[in-house]
């Protein structure tokens, strides 16, 4: 850990943010809660910073303070072999979705431009994406029924730093082994730090749900002290001037 780094978080937080707060400050680190985060604080340009918060918060701060944010490629999941995802996942444009595709899980490639989820029919999908360009890219995924559990893992330099269930339960050791094997084979496709969410079904076994960025992912049961380096390393201080 680099104790000279100031961790920037939103003023309004929750229990998970407070776990991060306690972990970092107990290790001698500094944290600043930002209210009007869109106003540049010149004092924050004088030493390394790290960012932890929602997308709007993180993107604005990254631009203001000229730092980079490490994020996994959301489209990677559409290029993975079926042994890892256990379902068909494709990249489509909004205008290319067919009535025959439904019911289906759809997620925007650009995060948060509409709410990802299971869409039962075209009418529901059109309502959710109203106003977006027909050429906007989305991830379209088959639905796997009877998912028994979902787990979140924080990964740093090819190592699972922590993994925890946030829905249901199963054999967590086998889940960690699944993530570790995936990383061994796909490390070159992942940034230095990332979050990998997996799920388990009796019919399919473990499979990759999605990838997330450490700078914005909730702990979801993981221990703050085990993943704090993942969060700090997700901000790249290229130059702070």
Range of the domain at 149: 74-78+145-212
- pLDDT at residue number 179: 98
Looking at the fold, whether 93 and 40 belong to one and the same domain comes out as no
Looking at the fold, whether 127 and 165 belong to one and the same domain comes out as no
Looking at the fold, whether 124 and 161 belong to one and the same domain comes out as no
Is 208 inside a domain boundary?
A: yes
Work out how many domains the chain is built from and give that number.
3
**CATH code (residue 177):** 3.30.470.20
pLDDT tens readout for residues 13-24? 889 999 999 999
Using CB atoms within 10 A of its CB, is residue 133 exposed (0-12), middle (13-18) or buried (19+)? Answer: exposed
Looking at the fold, whether 149 and 208 belong to one and the same domain comes out as yes
Q: Which residue matches tokens 């090819």?
A: 158
pLDDT tens readout for residues 229-240? 999 999 999 864
Is 99 inside a domain boundary?
A: yes
Cα gap 90→209, rounded to integer Å = 14
The DSSP-derived string for 14-31 is -HHHHHHHHHHHHTT-EE
- pLDDT at residue number 102: 94
The continuous run of DSSP H or E covering 117 comes out as strand 117-119
- pLDDT at residue number 84: 97
Task: Quote the pTM value.
Answer: 0.91
Distances (CA, A) of 212 to 71, 152, 196: 7, 10, 6
Q: Which residue matches tokens 């490490």?
A: 70
Looking at the fold, whether 134 and 151 belong to one and the same domain comes out as no
Looking at the fold, whether 116 and 128 belong to one and the same domain comes out as yes
Looking at the fold, whether 43 and 30 belong to one and the same domain comes out as yes
Is 217 inside a domain boundary?
A: no
- pLDDT at residue number 106: 95
- pLDDT at residue number 13: 83
Mean pLDDT of the chain: 93
10-residue averages of pLDDT along the chain (241 residues): 84 90 93 95 92 94 96 93 95 94 92 90 95 95 92 97 96 97 95 97 94 96 97 86 44
Looking at the fold, whether 170 and 202 belong to one and the same domain comes out as yes
Looking at the fold, whether 95 and 135 belong to one and the same domain comes out as yes
Is 227 inside a domain boundary?
A: no
- pLDDT at residue number 241: 44
- pLDDT at residue number 196: 98
């Amino acid at each position: 850990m680099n104790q000279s780094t100031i961790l920037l978080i939103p003023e309004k937080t929750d229990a998970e943010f407070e776990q991060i707060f306690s972990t970092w400050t107990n290790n001698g680190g500094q944290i600043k809660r930002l209210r009007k985060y869109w106003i540049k604080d010149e004092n924050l340009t004088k030493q390394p910073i790290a960012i932890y918060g929602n997308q709007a918060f993180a993107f604005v701060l990254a631009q203001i303070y000229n730092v980079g944010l490490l994020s996994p490629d959301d489209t990677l999941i559409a290029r993975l072999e079926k042994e890892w995802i256990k379902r068909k996942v494709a990249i489509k444009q909004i205008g290319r979705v067919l009535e025959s595709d439904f019911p289906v899980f759809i997620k925007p490639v650009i995060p948060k431009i509409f709410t990802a989820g299971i869409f039962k029919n075209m009418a529901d999908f059109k309502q959710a994406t109203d106003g977006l360009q027909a050429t906007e890219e989305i991830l379209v995924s088959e639905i796997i029924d009877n998912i028994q559990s979902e787990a979140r893992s924080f990964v740093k330099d090819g190592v699972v730093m922590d993994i925890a269930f946030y829905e249901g339960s199963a054999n967590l050791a086998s889940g960690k082994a699944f993530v570790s094997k995936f990383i061994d084979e796909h490390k070159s496709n992942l940034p230095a730090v990332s979050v990998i969410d997996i799920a388990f079904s009796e019919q399919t076994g473990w499979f990759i749900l999605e990838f997330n960025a450490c700078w914005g992912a909730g702990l979801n049961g993981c221990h703050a002290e085990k993943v704090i380096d993942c969060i700090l390393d997700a901000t790249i201080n290229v130059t702070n001037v």
